[in-house]
Amino acid sequence: MKPMRPRVVAVHSSATHSFSKSSRESITLLEGLGVDGDAHCGPTVQHRSRVAADPSQPNVRQVHLIHGELFDALRDAGHPVAPGDLGENITTRDVDLLSLPVGARLTVGDAVVTITGLRNPCQQINDFQPGLLKEVVTTDDDGHVIRLAGVMGIASRGGEVVAGDAISVDLPPLPHFPLTRV
């Protein structure tokens, strides 16, 4: 069997703070800002709840990535969800996003995204599809919360990203730190 190569499945953006993002032919990442034309683009926080708390916080949630395998699992659990529906900018395949350490750098097309942490899903997911939140936030046998709704990052190098682009992963120097919610 031929080994799978990490790749971009689809790209998405939305100029408004809507829950889902529209599929695009391409997106452009702007260094230090995020996805050009997306509501979450900017050097400081753009998520409305975080802006209300402290609008001067740095934006560590400029780019949202979700592994396409999550959509397969959700469909198997009775929740048909398509790329872009959960608000990600980049849908991937064959890269274990959730196991990456803080500071991992993904070269995606012409751009580089540095991973900052896990997406912390909220009630909006249940508003989108009842019961979906319990599928993307679970607990393990020890009672630890497991977040499955993708990772967040910053645009460390700008560039265009399109479906089909290869993804390469560069890990930061040791010690590696596991992702936590951001």
Number of domains in the chain: 1
Residue 133 within a domain? yes
Asked if 119 and 91 count as a contact pair (C-beta separation under 8 A), the reply is: no
Instruction: Work out the pLDDT band at 1, boundaries 50, 70, 90.
Output: low
Residue 100 domain-assigned (yes or no): yes
**Is residue 170 over pLDDT 60?**
yes
Under 8 Å CB-to-CB from 178, ≥6 apart: which residues? 101, 102
Phi, psi for residue 16 in degrees, rounded to 5: -115, 165
How confident is the model over 14-39, as pLDDT tens digits?
999 999 999 999 999 999 999 999 99
- Residue 177 counted as domain residue: no
| 6, pLDDT greater than 70 | yes
Percent of the chain's residues with pLDDT above 90:
89
1 within some domain? no
Residue 179 forms part of a structural domain: no
Yes or no: say if 36 and 27 are a contact pair by the CB < 8 Å rule: yes
Containing structural domain, residue 100: 7-170
Average pLDDT, the chain: 95
Are 134 and 168 within 8 A, CB to CB? no
Report if residue 138 sits inside a domain: yes
- Residue 31: per-residue pLDDT: 98
Identify whether 139 is part of a domain: yes
- Token pair 């709840």 is at which residue? 49
pLDDT tens-digit series, residues 101-134: 999 999 999 999 999 999 998 889 999 999 999 9
- Has residue 76 been placed in a domain? yes
What 3-state DSSP class applies to 130? coil
pLDDT digits (tens, 9 = 90+) for 78-106: 999 999 999 999 999 999 999 999 999 99
Per-residue CA distances from 1 to 4, 9, 107, 166 (Å): 9, 21, 25, 19
Letter for the amino acid at 30? L
Query: The domain spanning residue 40 has which CATH number?
Result: 2.40.33.20
CA–CA separation, 34 vs 98, rounded Å?
20
Say which residues have a Cβ less than 8 Å from residue 179's Cβ, sequence separation at least 6: 98, 100, 101, 102, 115, 117, 118, 151
